[in-house]
């Protein structure tokens, strides 16, 4: 005998900022009653994307670990001076455009703040979506601030600042091949810039989900992982700057 107890799926959006209800568990075991793997469930997809990002950051970290070890090792190596035929230390530190670098750091940190605001804005919107879908309910006058656009502009601003810093280095006579120290300055800053450019591309993808009218959840996932990537890039930049400033 079939019983008729109709159930209505009730979404309970987590709107409060304080508890971390929006954070799904990171890694699930095989027995934790998760939804079926591969299901397009939004939370499962978000968790998977975040896990994928955490894994993807590892080789980026390894790349810069490897550059760092090469940097430190190279500093300690003596080399042969062909004129005197003596072993000398040829490491002459490159004078850094410190002021410009600090301004750029400020711009990048600011962009980290704006992308975090964009991320939280989307969390709120996804949470409120079920409410909005109720006929007759409007959320009224909540304004959408284009935090993503601001982040892209700030990111491009940072890259322009870095370009200016390279120009300044070149103006002082320090090119990529001038000396071992200048090679590393260009390598580390350039490597970081390429990775940040990847972040900007991801933001443009996130923007295109609006144009393509993809579901809000898809945009939220892209923005979420890009935001974590962006924060990682900011931390990486501070690390690189500290390395160049204090270990030259």
Partner 1 sequence: MVAQESHGHAAPQGFIRKYVFSLDHKVIGLQYYFLALTAVFVGMFLSLLMRIHLVWPGVSLPLLGEIKPETYLSLLTMHGTIMVFFVLTTAPQGGFGNYFLPIQIGAPDMAFPVLNMLSFWTTFIAYLVMLSAFFVVGGAPLHGWTGYAPLSALQSAGPGEGLGADLWIISIALFCVASLMGALNFITTTLDMRAKGMTMMRMPLTCWSWFITAILGLLAFGVLLSAGILLLMDRNLGTSFFLPIGTINGQLTGHKGGSPLLWQHLFWFFGHPEVYIAILPGMGVASQLLSTFSRKPIFGYKAMVYAMLSIGLLGFMVWGHHMFMSGMSPYTAFAFSVMTMAIGVPSAIKTFNWLGTLWGGRIRFSSPMLFAIGFVSLFVSGGLSGPFLAQPVLDIQLHDTYFVPAHFHLIMGVAAIFGIFAATYYWFPKMFGRMLNEGLARWHFWFSFIGTYAIFMPMHYLGMAGHPRRYSQLTEVAYLRPLMPLQKFITYAAFVTIAGQLIFLFNFFWSLRNGKKATDNPWEATTLEWTTATPPPHDNFGGHTPVVHNGPYEYAVPGAPRDYVMQTDPATVAAH
Residue 17 C-beta: closest distance to partner 1, Å: 24
Q: Can you say how many angstroms the Cα of residue 167 is from the centroid of all Cα atoms in its chain?
A: 25
10 Å Cβ neighbour count for 45? 17
Residue 183 C-beta: closest distance to partner 1, Å: 4
Q: What residues contact 57, with CB distance under 8 A and at least 6 apart?
A: 229, 232
HSE-up (13 A, CA, CB side) for residue 4: 0
For the CA atoms of the chain, what is the radius of gyration?
Answer: 24
The nearer residue to partner 1, 85 or 138, going by C-beta atoms, is 85
Residue 162 C-beta: closest distance to partner 1, Å: 18
10 Å Cβ neighbour count for 243? 17
Residue 54 C-beta: closest distance to partner 1, Å: 9
DSSP letter (8 states) at residue 177: T
- Binding residues (CB under 8 A) for partner 1: these are 27-31, 33-34, 36-40, 44-49, 51-53, 55-56, 58-63, 65-67, 69-70, 73-74, 77, 79-82, 90, 176-177, 180, 183, 187, 191, 202, 205, 218, 221-222, 225-226, 229
The nearer residue to partner 1, 47 or 192, going by C-beta atoms, is 47
- SS3 category, 80: strand
The nearer residue to partner 1, 91 or 105, going by C-beta atoms, is 91
The nearer residue to partner 1, 47 or 158, going by C-beta atoms, is 47
Residue 138 C-beta: closest distance to partner 1, Å: 29
The nearer residue to partner 1, 63 or 99, going by C-beta atoms, is 63
Residue 203 CA to residue 230 CA, distance in Å, equals: 10
The nearer residue to partner 1, 62 or 102, going by C-beta atoms, is 62
Integer CA distances (angstroms), 218 to 68, 111, 205, 211, in order: 36, 22, 11, 13
Q: Both ends of the chain: CA-CA distance in Å?
A: 80
Residue 246 CA to residue 189 CA, distance in Å, equals: 15
Residue 88 C-beta: closest distance to partner 1, Å: 9
């Amino acid at each position: 005998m079939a019983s008729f107890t109709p159930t209505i799926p009730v979404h309970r959006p987590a709107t409060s900022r304080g508890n971390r209800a929006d954070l799904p568990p990171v890694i699930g075991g095989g027995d934790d009653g998760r939804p079926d793997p591969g299901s397009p469930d939004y939370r499962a997809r978000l968790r998977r994307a975040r896990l994928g990002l955490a894994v993807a950051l590892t080789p980026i970290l390894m790349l810069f670990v490897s550059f760092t070890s090469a940097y430190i090792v190279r500093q300690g190596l003596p080399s042969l001076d062909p004129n005197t035929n003596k072993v000398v230390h040829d490491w002459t530190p490159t004078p850094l455009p410190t002021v410009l670098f600090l301004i750029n750091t400020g711009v990048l940190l600011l962009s980290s703040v704006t992308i975090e605001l964009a991320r939280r804005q989307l969390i709120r919107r996804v949470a409120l979506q079920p409410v909005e879908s109720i006929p007759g309910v409007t959320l009224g006058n909540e304004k959408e601030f284009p935090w993503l656009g601001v982040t892209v502009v700030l990111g491009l601003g940072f890259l322009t600042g870095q370009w200016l810093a390279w120009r300044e280095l070149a103006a002082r006579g320090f090119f990529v091949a001038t000396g071992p120290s200048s090679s590393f300055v260009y390598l580390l800053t350039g490597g970081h810039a390429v990775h940040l450019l990847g972040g900007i591309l991801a933001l443009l993808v996130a923007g295109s989900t609006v144009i393509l009218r993809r579901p809000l959840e898809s945009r939220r996932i892209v923005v979420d992982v890009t935001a974590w990537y962006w924060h990682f890039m900011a931390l990486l930049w501070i690390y690189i700057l500290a390395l160049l400033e204090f270990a030259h």
